[in-house]
């Protein structure tokens, strides 16, 4: 409110472990790109939503966290979790999952792209042959606590776990996926389903896709059962452009997809509230990686790419933010071709070396 259109407030939450190492590199690169393309960023560093904060305060976040974050335009998040001192369900439910729920971030977006210079576990795949976007529904479906166990402890044990979908919930993620596909060159949308097995919810989901799809005659939509779709992620990844899925299927696909492109240190993600009633959150797919934390060897590229997605989202996929996004991606590509590499990519460079090099190439393209 009252800010100029090219000016945004970003809350940076480094979190735990390598989150604290990759976040400064992400901010360095995002700032370089913002500067080059005339975007102004007010960056606030936040030390809560971390296990250090938990150790001192007995909770992951202050009580008024929502009030403190509600006014920012985006949350730029490193990683949370330090299982040696705080159980994952406490750290995760006390921070990230609260953001997702309370800020209604119902879209989880994961680009999947193979870069030159990064070996893929899929033999023979060349850059350009894997380049798609997974849109996962983030709030409904199988991830409910509705249900229970009957006759517990006996041989007759019977477990019921409900899945819950709503028309509003399905239509909004499907619309988002169609809009996203429409804005891309290939204009293809694949809808993940399992209507030959999940007898009530999935045929209904297919009908929602058909219904919403009528508004997008320019997008080529097809539906694929989740089993064959997973196989095709491995065997024919070049067939995909945008893929939309309900929560559980999307969860699985969004690990499988990035796995086919090499290192987890590259994979970015966005948790979006597309209406912008609440801040959206941008974070690498990887976790806090306690095994390498503190060594300065983490790959910052996933964090940096997530920052590019943030700039793009802030300016609605157009103008300066889109240009900043593309410049960051070009710099990552260029560094992967001939720049310093972290250990996960077979090199010896530090997190800082890679961050600085990308920032330099963003500021002054080679
Ligand atoms: P989650 O937090 O989702 O539960 P996790 O804790 O099992 O995941 P990560 O923290 O992502 O997993 O780490 C998985 C493996 O990948 C670890 O061996 C870690 O060192 C490695 N790894 C993760 N992120 C990076 C990175 N940015 N650079 C290099 N290696 C990484
Ligand atoms: Mg973890």
What integer is the mean pLDDT of 348-366? 94
pLDDT at residue 1 above 70? Answer: no
Nearest bound ligand to the CA of residue 285: 1
Q: Ligand 1 center to residue 72 CA distance, Å?
A: 28
Residue nearest to atom 8 of ligand 1 (CA): 287
Joined tokens for residue 335: 């560094």
pLDDT score recorded for residue 4:
66
Residue 76 known to be catalytic: no
pLDDT score recorded for residue 175:
98
The whole-angstrom distance between residue 298's C-alpha and the CA centroid of its chain comes to: 18
Cβ burial of 363 (10 Å; 0-12, 13-18, 19+) is middle
What integer is the mean pLDDT of 306-324? 93
| Residue whose structure tokens are 């460079």 | 349
Ligand 2 ion local residues (Cβ < 5 A): 81, 287
Q: Ligand 1 center to residue 154 CA distance, Å?
A: 39
What integer is the mean pLDDT of 186-195? 98
pLDDT at residue 177 above 80? Answer: yes
What integer is the mean pLDDT of 327-332? 97
Distance in angstroms between the alpha carbons of the first and the last residue of the chain? 38
pLDDT at residue 22 above 70? Answer: yes
Quick one: what percent of the chain has pLDDT higher than 70? 99
pLDDT at residue 132 above 50? Answer: yes
Pocket of ligand 1 (CB under 6 A): 18, 81, 264-265, 286-289, 291-292, 298-299, 302, 344
Question: Cα separation of 216 and 191, whole Å?
Answer: 14
Interface ipTM: 0.94
DSSP 223: E
Joined tokens for residue 132: 């798609």
pLDDT in tens, 57-109: 999 999 999 999 999 999 999 999 999 999 999 999 999 999 999 999 999 99
Joined tokens for residue 247: 């929560």
Q: Ligand 1 center to residue 291 CA distance, Å?
A: 8
Residue pair 81/287 in contact by the 8 Å Cβ criterion:
yes
Residue nearest to atom 9 of ligand 1 (CA): 287
Out of 25, 268, 289, give the residue to mutate to test ligand 1, the one with the largest number of ligand atoms within 8 Å of its CB. Answer: 289
pLDDT at residue 17 above 60? Answer: yes
Q: Return the beta strands (E) in the chain as ranges.
A: 7-15, 40-45, 74-79, 107-113, 131-137, 147-150, 158-161, 188-193, 220-225, 242-245, 268-272, 280-284
pLDDT score recorded for residue 95:
93
pLDDT at residue 193 above 50? Answer: yes
| Residue whose structure tokens are 């990844």 | 237
Backbone angles phi, psi at 176, to 5 degrees: -60, -40
Question: Cα separation of 342 and 348, whole Å?
Answer: 5
pLDDT score recorded for residue 257:
95
Question: Cα separation of 65 and 226, whole Å?
Answer: 38
pLDDT at residue 145 above 60? Answer: yes
Residue nearest to atom 13 of ligand 1 (CA): 289
Q: Which residue among 73, 194, 241, 344 is the active-site one?
A: 194
pLDDT at residue 3 above 70? Answer: no
Quick one: what percent of the chain has pLDDT higher than 90? 91
Backbone angles phi, psi at 78, to 5 degrees: -80, -90
Mean pLDDT across the chain? 95
pLDDT score recorded for residue 2:
46
Q: Which residue among 42, 88, 210, 255 is the active-site one?
A: 255
- DSSP per-residue letters across 20-87: HHHHHHHHHHHHHHHHHTT-EEEEEE---SSHHHHHHHSSSS-TTHHHHHHT-SEEEEEE--BTTTB-
What integer is the mean pLDDT of 154-162? 96
User: 1-5, 161-165, 215-219: lowest mean pLDDT where?
Assistant: 1-5
Residue pair 335/359 in contact by the 8 Å Cβ criterion:
no
pLDDT score recorded for residue 262:
86
Residue nearest to atom 14 of ligand 1 (CA): 289
Q: Which residue among 16, 73, 131, 251 is the active-site one?
A: 251
């Amino acid at each position: 409110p009252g800010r100029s259109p090219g000016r945004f407030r970003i809350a940076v939450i480094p979190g735990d472990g390598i989150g604290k190492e990759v976040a400064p590199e992400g901010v360095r690169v995002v700032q370089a790109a913002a500067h080059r393309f005339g975007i102004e960023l007010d960056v606030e560093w936040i030390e809560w939503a971390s296990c250090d904060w938990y150790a001192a305060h007995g909770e992951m976040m202050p009580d008024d966290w929502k009030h403190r974050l509600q006014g920012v335009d985006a949350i730029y998040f490193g990683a949370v979790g330090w299982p040696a001192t705080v159980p994952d369900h406490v750290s995760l439910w006390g921070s990230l999952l609260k953001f997702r729920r309370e800020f209604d971030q119902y879209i989880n977006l994961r680009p999947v792209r193979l870069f030159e210079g990064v070996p893929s576990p899929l033999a023979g795949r060349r850059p350009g042959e894997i380049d798609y976007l997974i849109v996962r529904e983030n709030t409904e479906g199988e991830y409910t606590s509705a249900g229970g166990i009957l006759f517990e402890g006996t041989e007759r044990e019977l477990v019921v776990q409900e899945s819950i979908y709503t028309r509003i919930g399905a239509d909004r993620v499907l619309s988002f996926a169609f809009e996203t596909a429409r804005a891309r060159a290939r204009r293809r949308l694949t809808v993940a389903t399992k209507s030959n097995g999940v007898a009530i919810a999935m045929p209904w989901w297919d009908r929602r896709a058909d219904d919403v799809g009528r508004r997008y005659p320019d997008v080529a939509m097809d539906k694929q059962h989740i089993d064959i779709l997973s196989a095709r992620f491995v065997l024919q990844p070049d067939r995909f452009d945008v893929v939309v899925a309900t929560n559980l299927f999307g969860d699985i696909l969004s690990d499988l997809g990035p796995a086919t492109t090499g290192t987890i240190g590259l994979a970015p993600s966005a948790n979006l509230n597309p209406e912008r009633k609440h801040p959206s959150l941008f974070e690498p797919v990887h976790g806090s990686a306690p095994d390498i934390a503190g060594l300065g060897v983490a790959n910052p590229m996933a964090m940096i790419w997530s920052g590019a997605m943030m700039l793009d989202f802030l300016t609605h996929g157009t103008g300066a933010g889109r240009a900043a996004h593309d410049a960051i991606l070009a710099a990552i590509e260029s560094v992967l071709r001939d720049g310093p590499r972290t250990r996960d990519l077979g090199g010896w460079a530090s997190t800082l070396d890679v961050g600085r090099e990308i920032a330099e190439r963003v500021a002054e393209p080679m």
